[in-house]
């Protein structure tokens, strides 16, 4: 039987899934184990191998290929991982070592690309745009990221990792030249403007008080807090500017908004209206902005679809 195997490598948990068909309803087994990243790189490799062996033992199936979602990207020039917040992975040849340990081919992509692939194949996109050619998946939460999925000439979707492995890295496009410094070395990246922590920091700077995003959104909608409204206006205007760049370059059929900030309903109405001002299309915008369907399952399902 054809099966689809995916591993989602997170900072605290490693999740594995086996699907009997490319469908979220075709889960044969789903398991999680601790990453135990503090024990180092080789231990993480061993944990992934242990999880795969556990999936084999409990299903009786043998994978002939496995997809792995990671908290960073694979550099195709240097053949090592980079940009991983699980820092012991950086500079390491993770897919090559996993292929040796597992004895099968491994496909690897970052978590945002897995999110985009999952929603393009199993989630929100097929229901609305079944004949899509390009999809951009957005993660707006603790950080900001993105993933690009194209449909090939053979009709099969594929992740566009790019020449340098940075395809879709929307979070680190400079939006404010003199903005907050970012860990990437630049200032004013999208991530430093409208991620959840960045918006909360902005609210605190202008109001002198600390509130979480749920409170800020609620106070804006209630019309009781001008600082909250100023913060939400900052989100909507800068989201419009930033997403217009993606639309002008890729012109995707659909954009799926994931992450905690991506749950804010105003992005689908006022946020889209702000984007219209900046898209090079005479004030018209036909791109479908979609809410994700798969929730926390997107990462592991997207890995399986690799």
Low-confidence ranges of the chain (pLDDT < 70): none
- The predicted pLDDT at position 84 comes to 87
Helices within the chain (DSSP H only): 41-59, 94-102, 111-121, 124-128, 191-194, 196-207, 213-222, 226-250, 266, 272-278, 298-305
Q: What is the pTM of this model?
A: 0.93
- The predicted pLDDT at position 85 comes to 80
CATH (one of 3.30.830.10, 3.30.420.40, 3.40.190.290, 3.40.50.720) for 130-292: 3.30.420.40
Looking at the DSSP bridge assignments, the partners of residue 19 are 4, 27
pLDDT in tens, 105-139: 999 999 999 999 999 999 999 999 999 999 999 99
**Backbone φ and ψ of 234, nearest 5°:** -60, -45
The residue ranges of every structural domain in the chain are: 4-104, 130-292
CATH 3.30.420.40 for domain 4-104:
yes
Per CATH, 4-104 and 130-292 having the same topology is answered: yes
- The predicted pLDDT at position 71 comes to 87
- The predicted pLDDT at position 137 comes to 97
pLDDT in tens, 64-88: 999 999 988 999 999 999 988 888 9
Pair 181, 192: CB distance under 8 Å = yes
């Amino acid at each position: 039987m054809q099966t689809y195997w995916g591993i989602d490598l997170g900072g605290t948990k490693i999740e594995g899934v086996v699907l009997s068909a490319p469908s979220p309803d075709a889960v044969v087994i789903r398991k999680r184990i601790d990453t135990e990243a503090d024990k180092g790189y080789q231990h993480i490799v061993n944990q992934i191998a242990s999880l795969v062996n556990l999936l084999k033992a409990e299903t009786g199936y043998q994978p002939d290929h496995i997809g792995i979602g990671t908290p960073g990207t694979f550099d195709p020039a240097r053949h090592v991982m980079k940009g991983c917040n699980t820092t012991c992975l950086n500079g390491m040849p993770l897919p090559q070592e996993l292929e040796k340990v597992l004895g099968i081919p491994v496909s690897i992509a970052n978590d945002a690309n897995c999110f985009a692939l999952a929603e393009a194949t199993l989630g929100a996109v097929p229901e609305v745009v079944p004949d899509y050619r390009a999809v951009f998946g957005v993660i707006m939460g603790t950080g900001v990221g993105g993933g690009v999925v194209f449909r090939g000439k053979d009709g099969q979707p594929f992740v566009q990792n790019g020449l340098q492995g940075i395809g879709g890295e929307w979070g680190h496009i400079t939006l404010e030249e003199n903005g907050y410094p970012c860990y990437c070395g630049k200032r004013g990246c999208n991530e430093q403007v409208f991620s959840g922590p960045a918006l909360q920091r902005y609210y605190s700077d202008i109001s002198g008080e600390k509130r979480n995003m749920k409170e800020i959104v609620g106070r804006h909608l209630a019309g009781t807090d001008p600082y909250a409204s100023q913060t939400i206006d900052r989100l909507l205007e800068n989201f419009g500017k930033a997403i217009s760049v993606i639309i002008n370059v890729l012109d995707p059929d659909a954009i799926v908004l994931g992450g905690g900030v991506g749950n804010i309903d105003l992005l689908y109405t006022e946020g889209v209206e702000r984007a219209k001002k900046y898209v090079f299309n005479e004030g018209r915008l036909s791109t479908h902005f979609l809410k994700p369907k798969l929730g926390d399952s997107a990462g592991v399902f997207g890995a399986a679809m690799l």
